[in-house]
Amino acid sequence: MRWFKLNSPRLHGLLLFLGALACVFALHVSAVNSQTVHSELARFRPIEVWRPAHETNFGKRYAKDIYGRPAQNEPIVVLHETVVSAASTIRFFQTPHYNEADQASYHDLITRNGTVVHFVSRKNRAFGAGNSVFRGPNGPEAVKTHRIYPASVNNFAYHISLETPADGNHNGNHHSGYTQAQYRSLAWLVTQSKIPANRVTTHKGVDRSGSRKDPRSFNQRTFNSLFNRFSQLNQTKTVSLPPATFAGPELSD
């Protein structure tokens, strides 16, 4: 005679007990994993390197536009992608460009392994988005700082670029996307800037020419998740950050 019948209360009770035990175990594993991720993010700081752009490729931020009106816009973050390798981008920004039409820069670049390359101090104006406007809660924002070139967001923008994967070195609309290391460093950088999420945009979002698409294949959900986590950690930080690590990574084509 079998101890358990198919409809036995004992069998139902055992199944309920095993189900509850499995739930408790799953919750425990989830809590452990969550705590591990929390601890890793709390201690996270990317490798940072300085590769200063040539002085022709950036300028000062102006307190007034060319008409003498105050330029007191709150800062924004503009996200880009390189389309070429990080090494090629570094060489271009470090090359003197005395022709104004050739001048360009970002403040920071994030390589495929998550290394942050600093080009221009945030106190200065990087030349990342000509002929641009930010359309936010305060209405359209742009500042004209040059008598020939159109108004742009450069005077109040913090330009961050992601190194494009090798399969994205073209003018198409998509590629294989960015690495988790890049998203983590990006979210860390943006939260460190204290610029709110509603003032984070893309080159495509501010471009008035209709020709800019970057950053293509950007996973907004991944960025938002990491941005929110880092923001929460910054508000209730109990783990001190290690000192910045400055190193010279291999940045080859």
pLDDT of the residue at 69? 97
Residues 78 and 115 in one domain: yes
Q: Round to whole Å and give the CA distance between 12 and 208.
A: 66
Residues 65 and 32 in one domain: no
Residues 27 and 131 in one domain: no
Residues 18 and 115 in one domain: no
* 153 part of a folded domain: yes
pLDDT of the residue at 246? 35
Residues 27 and 73 in one domain: no
Residues 120 and 205 in one domain: yes
Q: Round to whole Å and give the CA distance between 101 and 98.
A: 9
* 248 part of a folded domain: no
* 14 part of a folded domain: yes
Domain that holds residue 35: 8-43
Residues 39 and 162 in one domain: no
Q: Round to whole Å and give the CA distance between 249 and 117.
A: 10
Q: Give, for all 253 residues of the chain, the pLDDT tens digit.
A: 454 455 566 656 555 666 666 655 555 444 444 455 567 888 999 999 999 999 999 999 999 999 999 999 999 999 999 999 999 999 999 999 999 999 999 999 999 999 999 999 999 999 999 999 999 988 999 999 999 999 999 999 999 999 999 999 999 999 999 999 999 999 999 999 999 999 999 999 999 999 999 999 999 999 999 999 999 998 765 444 344 333 333 444 4
* 245 part of a folded domain: no
Residues 111 and 27 in one domain: no
* 1 part of a folded domain: no
* 179 part of a folded domain: yes
pLDDT of the residue at 75? 98
* 62 part of a folded domain: yes
Number of domains in the chain: 2
* 155 part of a folded domain: yes
162-165 — which CB contacts under 8 Å span 24+ positions?
162/79, 162/80, 162/81, 162/82, 162/109, 162/110, 162/186, 162/215, 162/218, 163/81, 163/82, 163/85, 163/86, 163/89, 163/109, 163/110, 163/111, 163/112, 164/81, 164/82, 164/83, 164/84, 164/216, 165/112
pLDDT of the residue at 251? 47
- Among 79, 59, 63, smallest CA distance to 71 is for 63
Residues 202 and 108 in one domain: yes
pLDDT of the residue at 29? 42
Residues 55 and 13 in one domain: no
Residues 145 and 232 in one domain: yes
* Upper half-sphere CA count for residue 208 (Cβ side, 13 Å): 15
pLDDT of the residue at 194? 95
Quote the pTM value: 0.82
Residues 35 and 122 in one domain: no
CATH number at residue 137: 3.40.80.10
